[in-house]
Amino acid sequence: MTPADRPALILGARSGIARGIAAALAKRGHPLMLAARRAGELDSDVSDLSIRYNCTVTAHEFDVLDLDGHAGFLDSLPATPSIIICAIGVLGDQERDAGDAQATKLVVDSNYLAPCLFLEQAASRMAQSGGGSIVAIGSVAGDRGRAKNYVYGSAKAGFATYISGLRQKYAGSDLHVMTVKPGFVRTAMTEGMDLPGPLTSDAEPFAERVVSAMEKGRQVYSDLRWRALMAVITHLPERIFMKTKF
């Protein structure tokens, strides 16, 4: 089966990481279905990717928080996806969200509940139609709760656990489920943040590495620098961790 026979659905397609992955997949010849809220803002992406890589690209309105609309959205697609990239996420504001029930709910629903429910349905359909790949974008923020982002981090922790279970559920089948755990990536989401240069990746090179890992059948992908750093952070004894400023 060639890439032209393996259409890719990209959820959260307006994000920087998603745009990078879209370009990496288009370069390989995969037809693309870009899905996001305010899908009209994807018109320039559709035009650019289709012209630059000579592939089929369509845009689709999608709100993951519309839980009752998940099945209908999948039914409406022009093709059953062979690849799904889930790049949906809301960073939120820690100080505000920790004391605001609705803001916290939005972060948890957007990063955990709604994407999990959607991918459960999608995985079942993909498994029944011949398999494929699901790539779920998580975050190293879920590796250990930290004062700076524990609302977002806890949601990503739940998401990672869910995807791990989904991966085991389909182990041995033709459905490959991969978790991606980025650290800092230069995107609109991180714009204005004081990012540590040595630990920060640009979106397009990061996306290329993610797609390459998917093609190799990796189960979990994370930047080597962050893998090493988070291994230290997650293994620190609690009494020491409480004194750190990570």
Q: Which CATH number characterizes residue 221's domain?
A: 3.40.50.720
Please name the helix (run of DSSP H) or strand (run of DSSP E) that holds residue 8, with its range, or none.
Answer: strand 8-11
Q: Report the C-alpha gap between 116 and 21 in whole angstroms.
A: 20
Name the pairing type of β-strands 83-86 and 57-61: unpaired
Q: Is 162 a catalytic residue?
A: no
Catalytic residue among 53, 112, 150, 152: 152
Mean residue pLDDT across the chain: 88
How far is 23 from 200, CA to CA, in rounded Å? 20
Domain range for residue 138? 3-241
Confidence band (pLDDT; 50, 70, 90) for 87?
Answer: very high
Q: Is residue 157 part of a domain?
A: yes
Query: How many domains are contained in the chain?
Result: 1
Helices (H), 114-191: 114-128, 150-169
Give per-residue pLDDT as tens, 120-166: 999 999 999 999 999 999 988 887 888 888 999 999 999 999 999 99
Angle of CA points 211, 45, 6, to nearest 5°: 40
Report d(CA 86, CA 187) in Å as an integer.
16
| Residue 66, number of CB atoms within 10 A of its CB | 13
Q: Is residue 148 part of a domain?
A: yes
Minimal CA–CA distance to 135: which of 6, 4, 1?
A: 6
In a domain, 110, yes or no: yes
Q: What is the mean pLDDT of residues 109-126?
A: 97
Q: pLDDT at position 165, please?
A: 98
Give pLDDT tens digits for 4-58.
Answer: 789 999 999 998 889 999 999 999 999 999 999 999 999 999 999 999 999 999 9
In a domain, residue 119? The reply is yes
In a domain, 246, yes or no: no
Q: Tell me: the pLDDT tens digits for 190-224?
A: 455 555 444 555 767 888 889 999 999 999 877 76
